[in-house]
Amino acid sequence: MDWLNHFLLTLLATCQNMLPIVVVILIFQFLVIRKPLVNFKKILAGFIYLIVGVAFLLEGLDMAMFPLGKLMAAQMTAPEFIGTVDSKTVTWQSYIWVYAFAASIGFAATLAEPALLALALKAQNISGGTINAWSLRIAVAIGLAFGTALGTFRIVTGLELHYVLFTGYAIIIVQTLFIPKLILALAYDSGPVTPSTVTVPLITALGLGLATTVPGRNPLLDGFGLIAFASLFPVIAVLGYVQLAQWLGKDRR
């Protein structure tokens, strides 16, 4: 009964969140375009699926993904797991499995992302085959894995977030100068597009959990930042891959 109540509240909140986009579409459709919607019944059913689906999704993420990320962060930083009793002897090397886990999640999440596949195929098309869709996805996966692993390392060591980020920005700006302009927009998009509805909560929870359990860290100051890395490093990796592919392509000719 309790659960049902909670679910109905989520459903109501979802309706509220969907309201703006429905209003925008209706207003522009009827006032500006002034054509009736075709297939009204199908669209209505679609909206109902959409709202129920999002409500389920929100409940499920709250129930499984957030607790799971936090739980795993707690278990992998527990003194019994890292094998030290004294918290003073803990160094950043003690958390090696945390970095491995973050990297694996980043890598796995990329391969599963349908939005990225579409992007990669487009890049393959416009480059005339110089860029390979699979290699591009691997490049994004490596970038993302590196980003999330570095992000957890940053949380463990307490390194300032913006120093790393600004270094990343500088690298992208330099790379931009040497990249064929045709591919640039797609490469920029490859980063932010990749972490999706399921992975963002899991990775965020991992970061917040780490910042809560690693001694000396504060979730408010250190807990965020994983997603920022996860959307920055794939761009660097993709730009690097494009440069490499271009260079190899020239060589072959």
Q: Which of residues 159-178 bind another protein (CB under 8 A)?
A: 161-162, 165-166, 169, 172-173, 176
From 84-92, 101-109, 131-139, 236-244, give the range in contact with another protein by CB under 8 A: 101-109
Give the C-alpha separation, 222 to 154, whole Å.
Answer: 8
From 84-92, 132-140, 218-226, 245-253, give the range in contact with another protein by CB under 8 A: 218-226
| Residue 111 binds another protein (CB under 8 A) | yes
User: Which one among 12, 30, 62, 178 touches another protein, defined by CB under 8 A?
Assistant: 62
Min dist. Cβ of residue 251 to another protein (A): 25
From 84-92, 100-108, 129-137, 243-251, give the range in contact with another protein by CB under 8 A: 100-108
Count of positions (residues) in the chain: 253
| Residue 129 binds another protein (CB under 8 A) | no
DSSP 160: -
User: Which one among 18, 82, 90, 138 touches another protein, defined by CB under 8 A?
Assistant: 18
| Residue 225 binds another protein (CB under 8 A) | yes
Q: Taking the chain, what is the end-to-end CA distance rounded to the nearest angstrom?
A: 70
- Are the beta carbons of 237 and 113 closer than 8 angstroms? no
Q: Which is nearer to another protein, 13 or 244 (CB)?
A: 13
Residue 184: HSE in the Cβ half-sphere, 13 Å Cα cutoff: 11
Q: Locate 200 and state its tokens.
A: 């963002």
Min dist. Cβ of residue 86 to another protein (A): 22
User: Which one among 2, 4, 5, 33 touches another protein, defined by CB under 8 A?
Assistant: 33
31-64 per-residue burial string, b: 16 or more CB within 10 A, e: under 16: eeeeeeeeeeeeeeeeeeeebeebbebbeebeee
Contacts 24+ apart (CB under 8 A), 96-99: 98/73, 98/152, 98/156, 98/210, 99/149, 99/152, 99/153
| Residue 53 binds another protein (CB under 8 A) | yes
Q: Which is nearer to another protein, 28 or 87 (CB)?
A: 28
Q: Is the dihedral of CA 199, 10, 62, 47 positive or negative?
A: negative
| Residue 49 binds another protein (CB under 8 A) | yes
Q: Which is nearer to another protein, 4 or 33 (CB)?
A: 33
Min dist. Cβ of residue 135 to another protein (A): 18
CA 231 centroid distance within chain: 6
The number of helices, as runs of H, and strands, as runs of E, in the chain is 12, 0
User: Which one among 9, 182, 244, 248 touches another protein, defined by CB under 8 A?
Assistant: 182
